[in-house]
Amino acid sequence: MKKTVPLVFICWLSLITGCTSNGKTERKELDNLIVEAHFDNDTTIDGVAKYYDHSNRLASLVNYNHGVKYGPSVNYYPSGIIRDSMLFFDNKKHGEAYHYDSLGRVSWSDYQFYGIKVGPSVFYKKGEIDKYLFTDFNKNDLLIVEYDSNGSVRNLSALSTKATVTRVIENGNPMLELFLYLPNPPFLNIYYEFGLTDATRRLIPISQIPKNDFFYDTLLPYPKSNLYYYVSAHVKGKDSVINKVFIEDLPDW
C-alpha cells in the first residue's frame, strides 16, 4: 500500500508559504544560498525564509522566530520535488519528519522529541511500506514489524512497552507512577491495558490505555500486598492472521 503525503504536511506547507513577516523582505547570500526573508539585523531572520540556489531554484522553506527555527521546514530537490519535511521548536526537531525520494515517494519517516530520536520509524520501498521500528529514549528497539508488498505483516518481533513504576508522593499520599511506551504500527490493531495479577497469574483488567501519544504515564494507588500490576498488549493483524497477547509484569518498586 502506497504512502501518500500526510494531510498534516499539506497544512504545514500552506501555513509556511502563506506566512509573512513584518518589515521589508531582503535577498542575501548566506551559506552559498540566496535567502529571501525579513532580517532583524544582518543575519537574524524572522518569519519564513526562502532559500534558493544560484540557478534560482527553491531549495528550502524554513520558519524562524527572531533567528530561532520554529515551525515547519521543507527542503526540495533541484527538480522542485520535496526532499524532506519536519518541524522545529526552539531550534530542535520535534515531531514527525518525512523523507522522500527523487520521484516524490516517501522513503522513510521518524519522530524526534525535542531533538532526540525516539518512537516510530517507518521505512518504505518504492513507496510501499516495508518496515516499522519503535525505539525508546535509550535507543532500545521495542518492536520491529516487517511487511510484504501487500502491506500484510510477514514478521513481528516480541513487543515490549518497557513499563516502569516509580514511588511518588502526590498531595501527601504515596502513589505509584506508571510509565510505558505505546508502539502503534500501521496495519495492526493493538490495544493496551493495565491491571492487577496475583501468584496464580489470574488477570484482573483495570483500564484500557489510550493511544494518544507514543508513551503513557499515570498515577496508581498501591495494590494490596498479594497483588501486583501488569500491562498487556493485544495485537491483531488486518486479516486476523496475527493474534497475539504480550503480558509484562511491572518490576518491583
What CATH number does the domain containing 39 carry?
3.90.930
- Residue 128 domain flag: no
- Residue 103 domain flag: yes
SS percent in the chain: helix, strand, coil, step 5: 5, 60, 35
- Residue 12 domain flag: yes
15 or 60, which is more confident: 60
Of 117, 146, 173, which residue sits at a domain end? 117
Other CB atoms within a 10 A radius of the CB of residue 98 amount to 21
- Residue 123 domain flag: no
pLDDT of 6 over the 90 cut: no
Residue pLDDT, tens place only, 227-239: 999 999 999 887 6
Tell me, yes or no, whether 187 and 96 share the same domain. no
Q: Rounded to an integer, what distance in angstroms lies between the CA atom of residue 161 and that of residue 152? A: 23
Q: Rounded to an integer, what distance in angstroms lies between the CA atom of residue 244 and that of residue 158? A: 10
Of 117, 139, 173, which residue sits at a domain end? 117
Residue pLDDT, tens place only, 188-229: 999 999 999 998 989 999 999 998 889 999 999 999 888 999
Task: Using alpha carbons, list the distances in angstroms from residue 14 to 86, 207, 215.
Answer: 14, 40, 30
pLDDT of 106 over the 80 cut: yes
Residue pLDDT, tens place only, 137-164: 999 999 999 999 888 898 998 899 999 9
- Residue 144 domain flag: no
- The domain in which residue 102 lies consists of 7-117
Tell me, yes or no, whether 169 and 78 share the same domain. no
Residue pLDDT, tens place only, 180-196: 999 999 999 999 999 99
Residues 6 or more apart in contact with residue 14 via CB below 8 angstroms? none
Cα torsion at 55, 56, 61, 65 (round to 10°)? 110
